[in-house]
C-alpha cells in the first residue's frame, strides 16, 4: 500500500499528520492483537509455573517497602512546613503552565514557535524522533514528563536534614521511577513505536511478546532481559581465546596459565584475581580487547583465577575460603608451575578488595610472596562508595541474607538486575523497547554477552562482603576479622598501582583515591578516562580515552586532579613501565605443563557454568 503524501512530508521534515498513526488494515491488526494476547499468555505461564511448583519465591515486597520508606522520609521534609509544600507545588504548577502555554502556541499556525519549557539532558537519546518536537501532542507529553522528573529530582537535592544515605537512595529511586514512566516507554505515547505498530499492523507486538515469553522462560520465572544476540558467541571459540592450560582446580577456583608469546619473560609471574561477580573473561573478550593476551605479549607469565559459579555446596564458603582456596591456592600453584615464589598480583573490583584483605592477612602470617599489587577500580574504603550502596543498609542486607538462606546462594539474575539498574536508562529500558515493543532482536555484542553471563553469590561470601565493606567499612577502619586475626591495610607495605576510572559508578574515582591513604607503602594512583569496564579494558591500539597521573594520592582529590597530567590513550603502557621499574629481570619463557600436569585447555570448565 502506498504512503499518503502527507506522511512523506512528515518523514522528510514537513508538518506532522495523523495519517501516519491510522491503522490501514483493521482485520490484520485485530488478528495480530489476538496473536499478541496468545503470546502474552505464554509469558504469563512462564512466570507463573515456577511459582506454582515452588521453584521461585518472590521477594518483591522488600525493595518496594524500602522505596516507600525512603520517599516517606523525603515527604516529611516537604510536608512539615505548609509554606514549603506550597512553594514546591507552585514550582511544579508553573512548569505545567509554561508547557500548556507552549502547546497552545504550537497549534496556532500563525504564532512563532516557542522555546521549550525544559530540554532533555545532553546525551538523552529517548526524544530524538522529530515528532517529539513537531507533533503538539507528543511535544506536550515530552515536556510535561521532563518538567515533572526535574521537579522530583530537585525535591531530593533541596531536602534539608536528610542523612546522606537516605538522600542517595531517594535520588536513585526517583531516577528509577522517572526512567520507568517516560513516555518513550509506551506505544501510544512514543511516536516512533506508534508508527511502527501501525505500519506493521501490530506484528512488532507479536514478535515482542514472543521474545518476552522466551526471556521469562530463560530466567526460570524471572525476566532475563536480552541485551544482545548471544548466539554468535561461544566461550573458548570466539570469546576467552587466549591459549593456555588449566593447571589447578580447587572447590572455588581454577588456575589458568597462559602460553608465552615471547622468548623471555619477566622473572616475577603475574597472578590476576578477577571479581567473582561476573566472570574473568572481561579481561579476555577477544584478541583485540584482551588485557590477558596483551600482558602475555609484554613478557608476563600470566596466571588467572577463574572462580566457580557457586551452588548449594558453596553456601558456607566465606572470604577466608576464597583467600585460602583461591588466592593462596593460586600462589601455591604458580610456585609449583614456575619454581618462582615472588609474584606480581592484580585485583579487579571486588577481586581487588579480596586481594587487599588477603595481603593484610598474609602480611600478619608472614606470607610475603606477592611483591607488588595492582588494583583495577577497587574500593578498600567505602565511605564514598558508588550507587551499589543504595542497596545496602541493615534492613536490605538482612532481606538478602534471608533470601540466600533458602538455597545457600543469591541468584545470578538478582545481581545482574542490580547492576543494570545502576544504568537503567542505558541497560534496561532501551532493550525493553527494542525487544518487546519493536519486536527486534538486539545486535551481537561481546561485552553485553559477558554482562548477561551471570554468576551466583555464595551466601557466606556475599554476606561478609556486604556487611564488612559496604555496611560497616571494616577494612579501612582496621576492624575486619579474618582467620581469627584483625587485619590492617597499613601492614601492606609493597608497592601499589591503584587504578581508578573517571566515570565509574561502582567504584568512584574519589573512593579509590581516598582508599589509597590506608596502605602502608608507596601508592601510584592513576585515573583513566571512561568507566568501570571501558576505562579498564582499553587496549593501546584503540587510541581511546586518556589517563591522568600526578602527585601522591593525599589531601583533596579535586586539587590532585587539577594538578594532574593528562596523557592520551591507554594507561596499559604506563602500568607496564611501572611493573618493569619494580623488577625487570627476565628468564626463559615458561610453558604450561612443563613442571606439573595440566587439567585441560583454557578457558577451563568453571567459566562455562551458566545460570
Active site residues: 349
DSSP state of 113: P
Phi then psi for 256, rounded to 5 degrees?
-105, 130
Residue 86 DSSP SS3: helix
Pairing relationship of beta strands 586-588 and 409-410 according to DSSP bridges: unpaired
Contact present, 189 and 137 (Cβ < 8 Å): no
Residue 254 DSSP SS3: strand
**Chain CA centroid to CA 446, Å:** 15
Residue 458 DSSP SS3: strand
Residue 603 preceded by cis peptide, ω within 30: yes
Report in angstroms the alpha-carbon separations of 5 from 20, 136, 206. Answer: 10, 20, 29
Closest CA to 265 of 302, 291, 305: 302
Closest CA to 314 of 414, 412, 457: 457
**Chain CA centroid to CA 324, Å:** 28
Euclidean distance between CA atoms 293 and 206, whole angstroms: 44
Handedness of CA 478, 483, 485, 490 (dihedral sign): negative
Query: What are the cell numbers at 173?
Result: 529511586
Q: How many helices (H) and strands (E) does the chain have?
A: 23, 16
Euclidean distance between CA atoms 394 and 381, whole angstroms: 18
DSSP state of 482: E
The b-or-e profile of 530-560 (16+ CB within 10 A means b, else e) is bbbbbbbbbbeeeeebbbbebeebeeebeeb
Handedness of CA 596, 598, 603, 607 (dihedral sign): negative
Report in angstroms the alpha-carbon separations of 196 from 3, 36, 200, 433. Answer: 14, 15, 6, 12
Residue 376 DSSP SS3: strand
Amino acid at each position: 500500500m502506498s504512503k499518503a503524501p502527507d506522511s512523506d512530508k512528515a518523514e522528510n521534515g514537513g508538518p506532522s499528520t495523523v495519517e501516519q498513526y491510522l491503522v490501514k488494515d483493521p482485520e490484520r491488526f485485530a488478528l495480530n492483537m489476538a496473536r499478541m494476547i496468545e503470546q502474552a499468555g505464554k509469558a504469563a505461564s512462564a512466570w507463573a509455573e515456577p511459582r506454582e511448583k515452588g521453584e521461585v519465591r518472590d521477594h518483591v515486597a522488600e525493595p518496594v517497602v524500602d522505596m516507600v520508606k525512603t520517599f516517606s522520609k523525603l515527604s516529611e521534609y516537604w510536608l512539615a512546613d505548609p509554606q514549603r509544600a506550597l512553594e514546591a507545588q507552585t514550582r511544579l504548577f508553573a512548569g505545567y503552565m509554561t508547557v500548556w502555554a507552549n502547546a497552545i502556541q504550537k497549534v496556532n499556525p500563525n504564532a512563532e514557535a516557542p522555546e521549550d519549557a525544559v530540554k532533555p539532558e545532553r546525551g538523552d537519546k529517548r526524544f530524538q524522533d522529530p515528532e517529539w518536537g513537531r507533533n503538539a501532542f507528543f511535544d506536550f507529553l515530552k515536556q510535561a514528563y521532563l518538567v515533572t522528573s526535574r521537579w522530583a529530582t530537585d525535591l531530593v537535592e533541596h531536602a534539608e536534614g536528610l542523612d546522606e544515605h537516605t538522600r542517595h537512595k531517594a535520588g536513585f529511586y526517583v531516577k528509577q521511577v522517572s526512567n520507568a514512566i517516560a513516555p518513550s516507554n509506551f506505544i501510544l505515547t512514543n511516536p516512533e513505536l506508534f508508527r511502527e505498530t501501525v505500519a506493521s499492523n501490530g506484528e512488532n507486538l507479536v514478535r515482542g511478546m514472543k521474545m518476552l515469553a522466551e526471556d521469562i522462560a530463560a530466567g526460570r520465572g524471572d525476566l532475563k532481559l536480552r541485551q544482545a544476540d548471544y548466539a554468535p558467541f561461544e566461550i573458548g571459540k570466539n570469546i576467552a581465546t587466549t591459549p593456555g592450560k588449566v593447571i589447578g582446580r580447587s572447590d572455588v577456583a581454577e588456575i589458568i596459565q597462559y602460553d608465552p608469546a615471547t622468548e623471555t619473560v619477566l622473572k616475577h609471574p603475574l597472578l590476576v584475581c578477577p571479581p567473582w561477580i561476573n566472570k574473568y573473561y572481561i579481561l579476555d573478550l577477544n584478541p583485540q580487547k584482551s588485557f590477558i593476551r596483551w600482558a602475555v605479549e609484554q613478557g608476563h607469565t600470566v596466571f588467572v583465577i577463574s572462580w566457580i559459579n557457586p551452588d548449594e555446596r558453596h553456601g558456607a564458603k566465606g572470604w577466608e575460603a576464597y583467600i585460602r582456596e583461591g588466592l593462596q591456592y593460586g600462589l601455591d600453584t604458580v610456585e609449583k608451575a614456575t619454581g618462582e615464589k615472588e609474584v606480581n598480583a592484580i585485583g579487579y573490583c571486588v577481586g581487588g578488595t579480596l586481594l587487599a584483605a588477603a595481603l593484610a592477612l598474609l602480611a600478619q602470617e608472614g606470607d610475603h610472596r606477592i611483591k607488588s599489587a595492582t588494583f583495577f577500580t577497587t574500593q578498600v574504603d567505602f565511605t564514598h562508595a558508588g550507587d551499589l550502596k543504595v542497596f545496602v543498609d541493615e534492613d536490605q542486607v538482612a532481606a538478602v541474607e534471608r533470601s540466600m538462606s533458602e538455597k545457600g546462594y543469591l541468584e545470578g539474575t538478582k545481581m545482574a538486575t542490580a547492576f543494570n539498574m545502576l544504568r537503567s536508562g542505558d541497560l534496561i529500558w532501551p532493550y525493553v523497547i527494542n525487544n518487546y515493543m519493536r519486536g527486534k532482536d538486539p545486535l551481537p555484542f561481546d561485552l553485553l554477552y559477558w554482562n548477561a553471563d551471570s554468576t551466583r553469590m555464595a551466601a557466606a561470601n556475599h554476606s561478609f562482603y556486604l556487611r564488612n565493606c559496604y555496611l560497616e567499612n571494616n577494612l579501612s577502619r582496621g576492624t575486619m576479622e579474618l582467620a581469627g586475626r584483625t587485619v590492617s591495610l597499613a601492614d601492606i607495605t609493597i608497592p601499589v598501582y591503584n587504578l581508578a576510572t573517571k566515570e565509574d559508578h561502582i567504584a568512584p574515582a574519589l573512593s579509590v583515591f581516598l582508599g589509597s591513604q590506608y596502605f602502608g607503602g608507596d601508592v601510584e594512583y592513576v585515573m583513566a578516562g571512561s568507566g568501570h569496564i571501558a576505562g579498564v579494558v582499553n587496549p593501546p591500539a584503540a587510541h581511546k580515552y586518556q589517563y591522568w597521573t600526578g602527585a601522591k594520592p593525599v589531601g583533596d582529590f579535586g586539587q590532585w586532579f587539577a594538578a594532574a597530567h593528562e596523557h592520551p590513550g591507554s594507561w596499559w603502557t604506563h602500568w607496564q613501565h611501572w611493573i618493569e621499574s619494580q623488577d625487570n629481570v627476565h628468564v626463559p619463557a615458561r610453558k604450561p605443563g612443563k613442571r606439573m600436569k595440566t587439567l585441560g585447555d583454557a578457558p577451563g570448565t568453571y567459566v562455562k557454568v551458566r545460570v
